[in-house]
Amino acid sequence: MNNPHITLADILITTPEARRSGFLEYALRRNKEAVPFIDKAKALKAILQAHTQSPDDILSIEKIKESLLEAAGVSVKAKAHLSIADKDRLLQDFIDKVLKPSGSAYIEEMVYRYLLTSGDALGGKMRNIIGSIANEKLTRFIVSQLQICQIEFTYTRKNDAFTHGKHFTIDVADSIKAIQWTNGQNQQRLLVYNVNVPQVKKNIDIVLLKQAVANTRSDPLKKVLADEKNYLVIGELKGGIDPAGADEHWKTANTALGRVRTAFNRQLSLIFIGAAIEASMAQEIFSQYQSGELANCANLTDDNQLASLCAWLIEQ
Protein backbone atom coordinates (compact mmCIF):
# COMPACT_ATOMS: atom_id res chain seq x y z
CA MET A 1 0.00 0.00 0.00
CA ASN A 2 1.12 3.55 -0.74
CA ASN A 3 1.20 4.99 2.80
CA PRO A 4 3.39 2.91 5.16
CA HIS A 5 1.86 4.65 8.18
CA ILE A 6 -1.66 3.41 7.39
CA THR A 7 -1.72 -0.26 8.41
CA LEU A 8 -4.96 -0.38 10.42
CA ALA A 9 -8.24 1.50 10.37
CA ASP A 10 -7.72 2.68 13.96
CA ILE A 11 -4.53 4.50 12.96
CA LEU A 12 -6.66 6.92 10.94
CA ILE A 13 -8.79 7.98 13.93
CA THR A 14 -8.14 11.50 15.21
CA THR A 15 -6.64 11.34 18.69
CA PRO A 16 -8.08 13.37 21.60
CA GLU A 17 -4.78 15.30 21.77
CA ALA A 18 -4.99 16.23 18.08
CA ARG A 19 -8.62 17.25 18.49
CA ARG A 20 -7.82 19.52 21.44
CA SER A 21 -4.93 21.07 19.55
CA GLY A 22 -7.16 21.68 16.52
CA PHE A 23 -9.90 23.28 18.58
CA LEU A 24 -7.34 25.52 20.27
CA GLU A 25 -5.84 26.59 16.94
CA TYR A 26 -9.25 27.48 15.53
CA ALA A 27 -10.31 29.28 18.72
CA LEU A 28 -7.19 31.45 18.65
CA ARG A 29 -7.75 32.20 14.97
CA ARG A 30 -11.42 33.05 15.62
CA ASN A 31 -10.36 35.53 18.32
CA LYS A 32 -8.00 37.17 15.86
CA GLU A 33 -10.62 37.34 13.10
CA ALA A 34 -13.21 38.77 15.53
CA VAL A 35 -11.18 41.91 16.25
CA PRO A 36 -12.28 43.90 13.13
CA PHE A 37 -15.95 43.11 13.83
CA ILE A 38 -15.62 44.34 17.42
CA ASP A 39 -13.78 47.46 16.28
CA LYS A 40 -16.57 48.26 13.81
CA ALA A 41 -19.17 47.85 16.56
CA LYS A 42 -17.23 50.35 18.68
CA ALA A 43 -17.09 52.77 15.75
CA LEU A 44 -20.84 52.42 15.21
CA LYS A 45 -21.47 53.15 18.89
CA ALA A 46 -19.28 56.26 18.78
CA ILE A 47 -21.18 57.68 15.78
CA LEU A 48 -24.57 57.01 17.35
CA GLN A 49 -23.47 58.68 20.59
CA ALA A 50 -22.18 61.73 18.73
CA HIS A 51 -25.05 62.24 16.29
CA THR A 52 -28.25 60.98 17.91
CA GLN A 53 -30.37 61.94 20.86
CA SER A 54 -33.11 59.37 20.23
CA PRO A 55 -33.89 56.46 17.84
CA ASP A 56 -35.72 58.92 15.55
CA ASP A 57 -32.39 60.57 14.68
CA ILE A 58 -30.85 57.38 13.31
CA LEU A 59 -32.27 57.42 9.78
CA SER A 60 -30.74 60.85 9.14
CA ILE A 61 -27.20 59.42 9.34
CA GLU A 62 -26.82 58.26 5.75
CA LYS A 63 -23.19 57.15 6.02
CA ILE A 64 -23.95 54.32 8.45
CA LYS A 65 -27.18 53.09 6.87
CA GLU A 66 -25.61 49.86 5.56
CA SER A 67 -24.25 49.06 9.01
CA LEU A 68 -27.64 49.82 10.55
CA LEU A 69 -29.20 47.30 8.19
CA GLU A 70 -26.74 44.67 9.42
CA ALA A 71 -27.75 45.51 12.98
CA ALA A 72 -31.35 44.96 11.90
CA GLY A 73 -30.41 41.42 10.87
CA VAL A 74 -29.92 41.90 7.12
CA SER A 75 -26.88 40.04 5.80
CA VAL A 76 -24.46 41.53 3.26
CA LYS A 77 -25.77 39.08 0.65
CA ALA A 78 -29.41 39.97 1.38
CA LYS A 79 -28.73 43.71 1.10
CA ALA A 80 -27.83 43.30 -2.54
CA HIS A 81 -31.39 42.19 -3.29
CA LEU A 82 -33.13 45.10 -1.57
CA SER A 83 -34.10 48.43 -3.10
CA ILE A 84 -33.46 51.73 -1.29
CA ALA A 85 -37.17 51.89 -0.43
CA ASP A 86 -37.03 48.34 0.97
CA LYS A 87 -34.08 49.25 3.15
CA ASP A 88 -35.74 52.40 4.48
CA ARG A 89 -38.94 50.54 5.33
CA LEU A 90 -37.00 47.80 7.08
CA LEU A 91 -34.96 50.27 9.13
CA GLN A 92 -38.04 52.26 10.12
CA ASP A 93 -39.73 49.06 11.25
CA PHE A 94 -36.59 48.09 13.21
CA ILE A 95 -36.48 51.49 14.91
CA ASP A 96 -40.18 51.43 15.81
CA LYS A 97 -40.39 47.84 17.05
CA VAL A 98 -36.94 47.24 18.54
CA LEU A 99 -35.05 50.44 19.35
CA LYS A 100 -37.82 52.70 20.64
CA PRO A 101 -39.02 50.13 23.21
CA SER A 102 -35.42 50.05 24.52
CA GLY A 103 -35.75 53.66 25.65
CA SER A 104 -32.46 55.36 26.54
CA ALA A 105 -30.59 52.06 25.95
CA TYR A 106 -31.30 52.14 22.19
CA ILE A 107 -27.59 52.56 21.32
CA GLU A 108 -26.57 49.50 23.32
CA GLU A 109 -29.43 47.54 21.73
CA MET A 110 -28.23 48.56 18.28
CA VAL A 111 -24.63 47.57 19.02
CA TYR A 112 -25.62 44.20 20.51
CA ARG A 113 -27.69 43.36 17.46
CA TYR A 114 -24.93 44.49 15.13
CA LEU A 115 -22.54 42.11 16.90
CA LEU A 116 -25.12 39.32 16.65
CA THR A 117 -25.28 39.66 12.86
CA SER A 118 -21.49 40.01 12.73
CA GLY A 119 -21.25 36.68 14.54
CA ASP A 120 -22.97 35.00 11.59
CA ALA A 121 -20.55 36.69 9.19
CA LEU A 122 -17.60 35.60 11.35
CA GLY A 123 -18.89 32.03 11.34
CA GLY A 124 -18.99 32.02 7.55
CA LYS A 125 -15.51 33.51 7.37
CA MET A 126 -14.19 30.89 9.78
CA ARG A 127 -15.56 28.05 7.66
CA ASN A 128 -13.53 29.39 4.74
CA ILE A 129 -10.50 29.89 6.96
CA ILE A 130 -10.65 26.31 8.25
CA GLY A 131 -10.43 25.17 4.64
CA SER A 132 -7.53 27.51 3.94
CA ILE A 133 -5.68 26.29 7.06
CA ALA A 134 -5.97 22.73 5.76
CA ASN A 135 -4.74 23.83 2.33
CA GLU A 136 -1.87 25.71 3.92
CA LYS A 137 -0.71 22.67 5.89
CA LEU A 138 -0.89 20.42 2.83
CA THR A 139 1.04 23.00 0.79
CA ARG A 140 3.76 23.26 3.44
CA PHE A 141 4.21 19.49 3.50
CA ILE A 142 4.29 19.20 -0.31
CA VAL A 143 6.82 22.03 -0.59
CA SER A 144 8.94 20.47 2.16
CA GLN A 145 9.04 17.18 0.26
CA LEU A 146 10.06 18.98 -2.93
CA GLN A 147 12.78 20.90 -1.08
CA ILE A 148 14.14 17.82 0.71
CA CYS A 149 14.29 15.93 -2.59
CA GLN A 150 15.92 18.97 -4.22
CA ILE A 151 13.21 19.18 -6.85
CA GLU A 152 12.80 22.62 -8.35
CA PHE A 153 9.24 23.90 -8.36
CA THR A 154 7.17 26.96 -9.15
CA TYR A 155 3.97 28.18 -7.55
CA THR A 156 1.22 30.67 -8.21
CA ARG A 157 -1.15 32.63 -6.00
CA LYS A 158 -4.64 32.97 -7.45
CA ASN A 159 -4.21 33.59 -11.19
CA ASP A 160 -0.74 35.14 -11.17
CA ALA A 161 2.18 33.92 -13.25
CA PHE A 162 4.26 31.19 -11.63
CA THR A 163 7.05 32.14 -9.21
CA HIS A 164 10.22 30.11 -8.66
CA GLY A 165 10.19 28.02 -5.50
CA LYS A 166 13.28 29.73 -4.13
CA HIS A 167 11.01 32.68 -3.30
CA PHE A 168 8.60 30.53 -1.29
CA THR A 169 7.98 31.70 2.29
CA ILE A 170 5.53 30.56 4.93
CA ASP A 171 3.62 33.82 4.44
CA VAL A 172 2.40 32.80 0.98
CA ALA A 173 1.46 29.20 1.80
CA ASP A 174 -2.16 30.00 2.61
CA SER A 175 -2.80 31.71 -0.74
CA ILE A 176 -1.15 29.28 -3.16
CA LYS A 177 -3.45 28.14 -5.97
CA ALA A 178 -1.12 25.73 -7.79
CA ILE A 179 2.35 24.15 -7.69
CA GLN A 180 4.37 22.82 -10.65
CA TRP A 181 7.43 20.56 -10.73
CA THR A 182 9.17 17.92 -12.85
CA ASN A 183 9.37 14.47 -11.28
CA GLY A 184 12.22 11.95 -11.29
CA GLN A 185 11.15 10.62 -14.70
CA ASN A 186 11.42 14.14 -16.15
CA GLN A 187 7.63 14.42 -16.37
CA GLN A 188 5.81 17.68 -15.73
CA ARG A 189 3.34 17.81 -12.88
CA LEU A 190 0.76 20.46 -11.96
CA LEU A 191 -1.09 20.38 -8.63
CA VAL A 192 -4.15 22.66 -8.44
CA TYR A 193 -6.41 23.39 -5.46
CA ASN A 194 -10.16 23.97 -5.51
CA VAL A 195 -10.71 23.77 -9.22
CA ASN A 196 -13.75 22.92 -11.31
CA VAL A 197 -13.32 19.55 -13.00
CA PRO A 198 -15.52 19.64 -16.12
CA GLN A 199 -15.92 15.86 -16.26
CA VAL A 200 -17.82 15.94 -12.94
CA LYS A 201 -19.05 19.56 -13.15
CA LYS A 202 -17.99 20.16 -9.56
CA ASN A 203 -15.15 21.83 -7.67
CA ILE A 204 -12.52 19.37 -6.46
CA ASP A 205 -10.15 20.12 -3.57
CA ILE A 206 -6.97 18.54 -4.99
CA VAL A 207 -6.13 17.78 -8.63
CA LEU A 208 -2.77 16.51 -9.93
CA LEU A 209 -2.27 16.88 -13.68
CA LYS A 210 0.35 15.81 -16.23
CA GLN A 211 0.59 19.13 -18.05
CA ALA A 212 2.26 22.38 -16.96
CA VAL A 213 0.68 25.77 -17.72
CA ALA A 214 2.05 29.30 -17.98
CA ASN A 215 -0.55 30.58 -15.52
CA THR A 216 -3.83 29.47 -13.97
CA ARG A 217 -6.05 31.95 -15.75
CA SER A 218 -9.14 30.32 -17.16
CA ASP A 219 -8.11 29.55 -20.76
CA PRO A 220 -4.80 27.67 -20.40
CA LEU A 221 -5.96 25.75 -17.35
CA LYS A 222 -9.36 24.96 -18.84
CA LYS A 223 -7.68 23.42 -21.86
CA VAL A 224 -5.63 21.08 -19.67
CA LEU A 225 -8.60 20.21 -17.44
CA ALA A 226 -10.79 19.42 -20.46
CA ASP A 227 -8.61 16.46 -21.47
CA GLU A 228 -9.35 13.48 -19.25
CA LYS A 229 -5.95 11.95 -20.08
CA ASN A 230 -4.18 14.74 -18.17
CA TYR A 231 -5.49 13.62 -14.76
CA LEU A 232 -3.32 11.61 -12.38
CA VAL A 233 -4.73 12.14 -8.88
CA ILE A 234 -7.96 13.63 -7.56
CA GLY A 235 -8.53 14.16 -3.86
CA GLU A 236 -10.78 15.57 -1.18
CA LEU A 237 -9.44 17.59 1.77
CA LYS A 238 -11.56 18.22 4.87
CA GLY A 239 -10.02 20.47 7.52
CA GLY A 240 -12.83 20.68 10.08
CA ILE A 241 -11.81 19.25 13.47
CA ASP A 242 -15.25 19.00 15.11
CA PRO A 243 -16.19 15.31 15.51
CA ALA A 244 -19.87 16.25 15.32
CA GLY A 245 -19.47 17.13 11.64
CA ALA A 246 -16.87 14.50 10.76
CA ASP A 247 -19.24 11.90 9.35
CA GLU A 248 -20.99 14.49 7.17
CA HIS A 249 -17.65 15.71 5.81
CA TRP A 250 -16.70 12.15 4.87
CA LYS A 251 -20.07 11.54 3.21
CA THR A 252 -19.65 14.72 1.17
CA ALA A 253 -16.10 13.77 0.17
CA ASN A 254 -17.06 10.17 -0.60
CA THR A 255 -19.94 11.34 -2.80
CA ALA A 256 -17.57 13.67 -4.68
CA LEU A 257 -15.05 10.86 -5.19
CA GLY A 258 -17.87 8.57 -6.31
CA ARG A 259 -18.78 11.10 -9.01
CA VAL A 260 -15.15 11.05 -10.16
CA ARG A 261 -15.14 7.26 -10.41
CA THR A 262 -18.30 7.41 -12.52
CA ALA A 263 -17.16 10.28 -14.74
CA PHE A 264 -13.72 8.97 -15.69
CA ASN A 265 -13.48 6.02 -18.02
CA ARG A 266 -10.23 4.72 -16.56
CA GLN A 267 -8.55 3.95 -13.29
CA LEU A 268 -7.66 7.17 -11.47
CA SER A 269 -5.75 7.57 -8.20
CA LEU A 270 -8.11 8.99 -5.57
CA ILE A 271 -7.09 10.27 -2.13
CA PHE A 272 -8.76 11.51 1.02
CA ILE A 273 -7.25 13.70 3.75
CA GLY A 274 -9.31 14.66 6.80
CA ALA A 275 -8.69 16.30 10.15
CA ALA A 276 -11.68 14.81 11.98
CA ILE A 277 -11.82 11.05 11.41
CA GLU A 278 -14.01 9.01 13.74
CA ALA A 279 -14.08 5.22 14.21
CA SER A 280 -16.89 4.39 11.75
CA MET A 281 -15.37 6.65 9.10
CA ALA A 282 -11.94 5.15 9.62
CA GLN A 283 -13.30 1.68 8.85
CA GLU A 284 -14.88 2.88 5.60
CA ILE A 285 -11.80 4.85 4.52
CA PHE A 286 -9.43 2.00 5.34
CA SER A 287 -11.66 -0.50 3.52
CA GLN A 288 -11.53 1.64 0.36
CA TYR A 289 -7.77 2.02 0.81
CA GLN A 290 -7.31 -1.75 1.06
CA SER A 291 -9.48 -2.41 -1.99
CA GLY A 292 -7.70 0.23 -4.09
CA GLU A 293 -10.71 2.54 -4.38
CA LEU A 294 -8.51 5.02 -2.54
CA ALA A 295 -4.90 5.10 -3.66
CA ASN A 296 -3.85 6.95 -0.52
CA CYS A 297 -5.28 8.55 2.61
CA ALA A 298 -4.11 10.40 5.70
CA ASN A 299 -5.28 12.09 8.86
CA LEU A 300 -4.38 15.77 8.49
CA THR A 301 -3.43 15.95 12.18
CA ASP A 302 -0.86 13.13 11.88
CA ASP A 303 2.37 14.53 10.46
CA ASN A 304 3.82 11.11 9.58
CA GLN A 305 0.76 10.08 7.59
CA LEU A 306 0.59 13.42 5.79
CA ALA A 307 4.32 13.50 5.01
CA SER A 308 4.14 9.99 3.52
CA LEU A 309 1.15 10.90 1.39
CA CYS A 310 2.92 14.03 0.10
CA ALA A 311 6.07 12.03 -0.69
CA TRP A 312 3.93 9.62 -2.73
CA LEU A 313 2.14 12.53 -4.42
CA ILE A 314 5.26 14.24 -5.76
CA GLU A 315 6.53 10.92 -7.16
CA GLN A 316 3.45 10.38 -9.33
Residue ranges per domain, the chain? 9-27+128-315, 29-124
Residue 62 pLDDT: 86
The answer to whether 285 and 305 have CB atoms below 8 angstroms apart is: no
One CATH from 3.30.310.50, 3.40.91.10, 3.20.20.140, 3.40.640.10 for 9-27+128-315: 3.40.91.10
- pLDDT band at residue 159 under the 50/70/90 scheme: low
The answer to whether 249 and 276 have CB atoms below 8 angstroms apart is: yes
**Alpha carbons within 13 A on the beta-carbon side of 186:** 0
Calculate the average pLDDT of the chain.
Answer: 90
Q: Give the pTM.
A: 0.82
Q: Comparing 209 with 75, which gets the higher pLDDT?
A: 209
Q: Which of 12-21, 31-40, 62-71, 124-133 has the highest mean pLDDT?
A: 12-21
Between strands 188-197 and 202-209, the pairing is: antiparallel
For residue 73, pLDDT over 90 is answered with no
Domain 29-124 has CATH 1.10.238.90: yes
- pLDDT band at residue 26 under the 50/70/90 scheme: confident
Window from 23-32, 92-101, 268-277, 286-295 with minimum mean pLDDT: 23-32
For residue 158, pLDDT over 80 is answered with no
Residue 92 pLDDT: 92
